[in-house]
Chains A and B, each alone.
Chain A
């Protein structure tokens, strides 16, 4: 009788897998090089550059009015806030004080686009974790905001509504009525978001304790926006360095201390409530006045360096302009929130499963054109 051969012990080896550049969960052309042991993640290496458009270099060639429309294409979900960042930097450099009406309208539009961005994030996050319904509900509400933007600014996504010294046009006569209608609608829908997704047991099990980021690490990696605030790091530019009409309004900074995916989710849901509160404080009393102050046709900034930061839906966006006194900037640098938030992905995803990586990436809310520029 033949003796049974003893099977050699199973050897486990690490292996690579590409997640992206065309993966639905990366929301764009981001390639992640995963080193895996079975299904456990050992290392995550983001590979960037698939949609690099050299926007910073193009800014050096363009005049200050022309730069603004390029910033639409950075983080296209908060394009109005990006436009405002450049406008505020140029206005501060020129020493131009914009009218009160401009400040109020800018802040209202900022918060509207923040809600719109978070709506999209909420829908897509549900979809990433296997709940397709949330996607349609979020887009239903987002559609109303897009209509407001289309009527007032002329475009739904890349609106290019800010110009140095004010706004391109005055607001549309229907703007106030439409915004009030949206707020009334949205306040009844936000509790529905909670009932549908936040309380869901499957959703909670997939997000609680996943991708935990401590406060020290959040500061060390330069995390900003909801990612930083979910770890207890108070980093809201709107609170610490208020701009436009923000000094006039009162709102609470959304803060959590858990630092996991669920905390980041809760921060964004709370931010939608806070944005609604900010708009409600401003919408009833938009001051009368001009929508623009006249600037020179050819804007020349004085020689020097200028920095302005604003809070986009993803975090802190900084615009750094070096001017040599000509009509083009010598150098223009964007500090984009997505880049810093992506840098901590390896830190928080290691040790988890691939399914957890999807949940972690969804709550980081990455917009790839913002990272690549």
Chain B
């Protein structure tokens, strides 16, 4: 290829690429494809299945449906869930029964794999969509 042909081809391919970017420069306008995250915090809605953190649901009487079966604790690969339980007497039947004292969830060890929520037989723990774990000092808690 001669010297001038090579220059011609080079300039042509560069202009072809510039046409792509130039078209976006003119046509895209203000419709940015990125999310302006901290500004849209109020309107941002995550998908229903998004795995943010594990929470235990409580009803209006502040009661949960956890039975303390420890299946989530066994299913967890990293030991993020710790269940402290005790034996008590069931007030209805008068038999001995396992009662849950505390259900501790260590967010720092969790890898959001979802095995504990799958393992729960009574749907006591679910995924919350909260992904922001920090707070600015100027914000109310």
Binding site for B on A (CB under 8 A): 62, 65-66, 69-70, 133, 140, 143, 150-155, 158, 160, 163, 168-169, 172, 192, 195-197, 199-202
With A151-B47, A199-B16, A200-B14 given, is the CB distance from A66 to B112 under 8 Å?
no
CB < 8 Å: which of A62, A66, A140 contacts B33?
Answer: A140
Measured in the bound complex, the distance between the Cα atoms of B110 and A190 in whole Å is 38
- Nearest-neighbour CB distance to chain B for A126, whole angstroms, equals 11
User: Is B138 engaged at the interface, CB distance under 8 Å to the other chain?
Assistant: no
- In the complex, which residues of chain B have a beta carbon less than 8 angstroms from the beta carbon of A158? 111-113
Contact with A along B73-91 (1 / 0, CB 8 A): 0010100000000000000
CB within 8 Å of A: which residues of B? 9-10, 13-14, 16-17, 19-21, 33, 46-47, 49-51, 75, 77, 111-115, 118, 127
Given known A-B contacts A133-B21, A168-B118, A69 and B77 have beta carbons under 8 A apart: yes
Q: How distant is A203 from chain B, measured CB to nearest CB, in Å?
A: 9
| In contact, B33 and A143 (Cβ under 8 angstroms) | yes
Given contacts A66-B115, A150-B50, A154-B49, 8 further A-B contacts (CB under 8 A): A66-B113, A70-B77, A153-B49, A154-B127, A155-B50, A155-B112, A199-B13, A200-B17
Question: Contacts of A70 on B, CB cut-off 8 Å?
Answer: 77
> A195 and B49: CB pair below 8 A?
no
A–B Cβ pairs within 8 angstroms, 15 of them: A66-B77, A69-B77, A69-B111, A150-B47, A153-B49, A154-B50, A154-B127, A155-B51, A160-B113, A160-B114, A163-B118, A169-B49, A172-B49, A195-B17, A196-B21
Bound form: Cα–Cα A195–B16 in Å = 6
Known: A69-B113, A160-B114, A168-B118. A195 touches B47 (CB 8 A): no
Contact call A154/B114, Cβ cutoff below 8 A: yes
A168:B114 contact, CB within 8 angstroms: yes
Known: A65-B115, A168-B114, A196-B21. A154 touches B16 (CB 8 A): no
A199-B111 Cα distance, complex, nearest whole Å: 43
Given A154-B50, A199-B13: A192 in contact with B77 (beta carbons within 8 A)? no
Please give me the residue from chain A that is nearest to B47 by CB atom: A151
Residues of A with C-beta under 8 A to B10:
201-202
Q: Is there contact, CB below 8 Å, between A195 and B114?
A: no
- Contact of A199 with B17 at beta-carbon distance under 8 Å, contacts A66-B77, A69-B77, A143-B33 already known: yes
Chain A residues near B112 (CB-CB < 8 A): 155, 158
Complex CA distance for A69 and B51, rounded to whole angstroms: 14
Q: Which residue of B lies closest to A191 (CB)?
A: B20
> With A65-B75, A66-B77, A150-B50 in contact, is A200–B114 under 8 Å at CB?
no
Q: Contact: A192 with B20, CB < 8 Å? A: yes
* Complex-state Cα separation, A70 to B113, whole angstroms: 9
**Chain B residues whose CB sits within 8 angstroms of the CB of A168 once the complex forms:** 114, 118
Q: Which of B17, B33, B112 has the most CB of A within 10 A?
A: B17
* Contact indicator A201/B49 (Cβ below 8 Å): no
